[in-house]
Structure 1
Amino acid sequence: MTEKRMSSSRKHSIKGMMLQVAKELLEAEAIEKGQIRATYMEENCPPLVLPRSVEELKDLCCELHAKLDVVDEERYDLASKVNLVVREVADLNFKMVDLKGKFKRPPLKKVRMSADAMLQALLGSKHKVTMDLRSNLKQVKKEVKEEDKELRDVGDWRKNIEDKAGMGGRKKMFETDA
């Protein structure tokens, strides 16, 4: 099947229409949010009546302080809930990485250390231990086999070959008998 390509003017006009519709939707949403805010303010915030005497002013301050305390308690409760959720998310992320088994291994540096220095680092500077690893090795005596001695003591190889030459080394037998 061959696809029909849209002309650039058609694409441009469709894009313009989409942007116009999106603009209208955003404007309607902004108006709706403004109305919701206005109704909330009317319900929760009564119009301010300024007191005319000192007693009325003190009563107004006490009411405002009580409302501030209630709001502050709600804010603290919400903040603690948010912190709890953040910790749970961090723990779940850690568990998820742990289950995947993909850990980023830090690059390790090569440390050249003798056995004595390693023991001193492990045991501390109080204990001085010297360790000569070669002194603990067993002494092994090398046994020389008799076959090896015979192979070494063969002598002149040319003479040996002449003796065994011919008929698989039987020539010498016939020469001595004849």
Structure 2
Amino acid sequence: MSDDDYSPPPSAPKAEAKPKCKISASRKLSLKILLLARATEELEAETAAREEEKVRYLGDKLPPLQLTGLKMDELHLLCKEMHSQIDSVDEERYDFEAKVIKNYRDINELNLKVQDLGGKFKKPALRKVRVSADEMMRALFGSRTKESMDLRSNLKSVKKEDIKQEKELNMEVGDWRKNVEAMSDMKGRKKMFDA
């Protein structure tokens, strides 16, 4: 083998490069501008058509009122009719809203079922989290718990000196005659005030 016959070893297959677009950048820009202009025109036409449909529908459902030349009794009747119409329309609106909410709920449930059947949903890996008793109580009860759950700090600390003093007091109380004799002179009273 000579140096001229050398060819590099085959490397891993690379992702296919996108073929270069044969449309120039200025042409792309002009096409985008034309598409956006067309889309805005269609949106404006659609909104105008909706407004016209709305006006036509309202014209069919609500004929213009003629209040001139009506007496009070006729006006009262007209008001009662309008109130009954408003009530019926509100009932229909409520029914439609309930149907829409129910349909959204059904769609959401079906989407969840599709995801479950597709098997693409992966359960996230759960981590072990150390939570102190205070944090757990805050999570369970919110800000209602103001007491600290640190049980060791809440315990009463007992010192050995306190135990010795209590034993001495118990010993002193045992024989009352000795206490009376010890406290009878001025030194005893001084001890009482010092204590």
TM-score (norm 1): 0.47
Rg larger for:
1
